[in-house]
Amino acid sequence: MSVLNLRDVLPFPGGANSSDVLLNGQHLNLTTLEYWNYTLFSNGTLSNNSWCFMTELPFTPGSVLENGTFINATSCYTPMKAIGTRSAIGVGYAVAFGICLVLVLINLARHGKLYLPVEKRFYPIGRRWQWYWGCFVCATAIIGLFFGIDVDRYYIQDIPIVINVFFWFLMQMGTTALVWEAVRHWGSWMERQFIDPNPFVLHDTDRRWMFEFWVPLFFYFWLWMNFFMVIPRNWEPIIRQRSPQQTIEQAEPTATDGRFKAAAFILLICWFTIIVSIWHSIRHYEPRNRGWFNRTIGFLGYMPVRFALEIPLLLALVAYQILCSFRFRLSPLNAEDTNYVAMYLGGYTPSLLILIIQIIDGFVRPNEDRELIHQRRMRGEEINRQLGIAKKPAWWRRVNGQLPPDNMADQVLRNVREVGGGRPTARQVEALAEQRAAQVQEGQTGPGRSGATIEMNELRRANSAASSMRARGAPPPPYTPYTGKSAQRKEERIVQAAAGMLFPNSATPPAGEDRGRSSEGETAETQQRLDASERSRSTGSTVSGLSTTSPPQQVRSMLDI
């Protein structure tokens, strides 16, 4: 749509008759043009506020039908012009930002990789935010610069100029956030190195911690205020640059209104917040100096070199945005007659240089987890040096026969070779069985010897009379319960309880008042078992006598064995 001042309107040139118009050798019906409210403008367009067509050669319409349809007409919003200075320089900057995007992604993978467990106090995303904002800056710059090509090629300005400046403002915001995240994370990294030797040297509830908690919220509040001042607004007046008169009356007042001025000064607040954050980190995590002069020298000395370069560049970017809000002649919002040197030198060069500085510093600095591991190793070596502990070289163990531990497969294989495995183990078992059988035949077996059957010994006290009888080779006497109330009785109850859990199917003496009233049948059964056990021992049999007179023992778990 082409809306111009009335002074830009031209009368229709005469034709063959009163209802004919002659435009660059083409005859058009004047009655139809007037019926559809078409107007001829001084910029060579024919428009009715809904449709706009070119009238200059070779784009002059061939004819117009009674329904208002033009034959062989060209729309005003067609990229028909050649690439100009704005587009040529913009393509070069877009290529540079594209290369930076690839390098930023490499640094993101390099510094975002973890080599230590994640700590609650230092999240991995904290070190990655500066690279995320770097990707954002590159993407917005590339989109805006490529849309700047259509700003030059469009005969009548339309949506490309809006998209171009829209992403330019987003790039300014992203660059500011990039520098902020770099400064904030540098302070976090200084804190991490400061507390790594002693995690309790700093508190989490003091003024320092409260400042570090609230200052990011303060910064992003003003950054989002800059966004809301610039982005959500009516961009239609910026498009009104289809003639010099229209640019002066509509585009320039909108591009220099109060909202653009306020947004530029809000970025200045963000810049001061970055300076305060650097001062806070140097004050708490670097050695303090006395006197204002020494503190100023220390502030500049402790500040990293990249910040000494990036902060002035960011200030230049903010200053250029403030200047654009007062001088439309220098602003990128001016589509036809802007100063391209000021536009690219002040609008895009600071962001590009800040990205380049960040990328170079990212390739120079090591991964923070690896650096922390190196610092811990150095501290350990220093402590060993102070204690007089000398670490032996790697060849020392090999020379002294102290080989390094093998993997699990080698260790298992070595153990199997020591104890035997497979068929050799079976041969050893068979040899052991034949040896024991030979000893039994020769009468060398007996209670307590190596060829005896492996049985579970009876639960007994070491100082009892039964132990002395067992030492002489006699069978143990039948169990006689003790009815007294003394420490010996207490020990017997404990032994009985343990025996009941280990041998649930074995016969236990009656509890309570019936403990001393065992029946004669139980006494005879117990005596029968003892006789059978004695016979098995005298004959050298390897089978227990208890298994013939009592039910087999049921093993429920490894505790029963």
pLDDT in tens, 288-301: 766 666 667 766 77
The closest alpha carbon to 470, from 458, 481, 479, 480, belongs to 458
Compute the distance between CA of residue 509 and CA of residue 464 in angstroms, rounded to an integer.
19
pLDDT tens across 220-274, in order?
Answer: 999 999 999 999 999 999 988 877 888 888 899 999 999 999 999 999 999 999 9
pLDDT at position 525, please?
A: 52
pLDDT confidence of residue 242: 79
Query: Which is higher by pLDDT, 195 or 555?
Result: 195
Q: What is the pLDDT of residue 485?
A: 58
Write a three-state SS string for 139-192: HHHHHHHHHHHHHHHECCCCHHHHHHHHHHHHHHHHHHHHHHHHHHHHHHHHHH
Residues 23, 2: contact at Cβ < 8 Å? Answer: no
Local confidence band at 20 (pLDDT 50, 70, 90 cut-offs)? confident
pTM of the prediction? Answer: 0.67
Which residues are 79's β-sheet partners? 154
Q: Which of 33-37, 104-108, 316-320 shows the lowest per-residue confidence on average (mean pLDDT)?
A: 33-37
Q: Which residue has the higher pLDDT, 417 or 424?
A: 417
Q: Is the pLDDT of residue 484 over 70?
A: no
Q: What share of the chain is helix, strand, coil (3-state, %, to 5)?
A: 60, 5, 35
- Which among 104, 111, 177, 109 has a CA at the least distance from the CA of 138? 104
Find out if CATH 1.10.287 is the number for domain 86-381. Answer: no
Average pLDDT in the chain: 79
Backbone angles phi, psi at 240, to 5 degrees: -70, 70
Tally of CA atoms within 13 A in the half-sphere of 256 that contains its CB: 16
CA distance 237 to 225: 22
Q: Which of 79-93, 342-356, 540-554 has the lowest mean pLDDT?
A: 540-554
pLDDT tens track for 297-313: 766 777 889 999 999 99
Q: Which helix (H) or strand (E) holds 47?
A: strand 45-47
Residues in a beta bridge with 28:
21
Burial of 492 (0-12, 13-18, 19+ CB in 10 A): middle
Q: What H or E segment, with its residue span, contains residue 345?
A: helix 340-347
Q: What percent of the chain has pLDDT over 70?
A: 75
| Beta-strand relationship, 26-29 and 20-23 | antiparallel
Evaluate whether 545 touches 530 at the Cβ level (below 8 Å): no
The CA distance from 156 to 4, in Å, is 12
| Burial of residue 544, with CB atoms counted within 10 A of its CB: 0-12 exposed, 13-18 middle, 19 or more buried | middle
Task: State how far the Cα of 243 lies from the Cα of 197, in Å rounded to an integer.
Answer: 68
Cα–Cα distance, 539 to 148 (Å, whole number): 111
With pLDDT > 90 as the criterion, what percentage of the chain qualifies? 33
pLDDT at 424 over 60: no
Host H or E run for residue 46 = strand 45-47
3-state secondary structure 16-27: CCCCEEEECCEE
**398 or 560: which leads in pLDDT:** 398
pLDDT number for residue 215: 94
pLDDT in tens, 125-138: 889 999 999 999 99
**Which of the four pLDDT bands, split at 50, 70 and 90, describes residue 551?**
low
Angle ∠(443,447,452) on CA atoms, nearest 5? 70
The pair of structure tokens assigned to 5 is 């001042």
Query: Residue 133: how many CA atoms within 13 Å on its side-chain side?
Result: 24
pLDDT tens digits for 43-73? 788 888 888 888 888 888 888 888 888 888 8
- Over residues 151-163, the pLDDT tens digits come to 988 888 889 999 9
Contact 44, 32 (CB under 8 A): no
**CB-side neighbour CA atoms (13 Å) of 465:** 4
Q: Rounded CA gap, 20 and 27, in Å?
A: 6
What's the token pair of residue 208?
């320092």
Q: Which residue has the higher pLDDT, 420 or 387?
A: 387
The domain spans of the chain are 6-71, 86-381, 461-506+519-561
3-state secondary structure 192-226: HHHHCCCCCCCCCCCHHHHHHHHHHHHHHHHHHHH
CB-based burial, 404-421: b 16+ in 10 Å, e otherwise: eeeeeeeeeeeeeeeeee
Dihedral pair phi/psi, residue 64, rounded to 5°: -135, 135
